[in-house]
Amino acid sequence: MRKSTLILSLLAMLPTAALADPITATKSVAMVSDPMGNLIPRAIPGAVLDYTATLANPLANAGKTVRGIAFEDQLPANVILRVSDLGVGGSGPVIFTNGAIVLGVGDSGLTYTFTNLASASDGIEFSNGTSWTYIPVPDADGYDANVRAIRVKPVTNFKAGGSFTVRFRVKLR
SS3 145: coil
Question: What domains can be seen in the chain, in order of their start residue?
Answer: 2-172 (2.60.40.1170)
pLDDT in tens, 33-86: 999 999 999 999 999 999 999 999 999 999 999 999 999 999 999 999 999 999
What does the alpha-carbon distance between residue 84 and residue 170 come to, in Å, rounded to a whole number?
11
Q: What is the pTM of this model?
A: 0.86
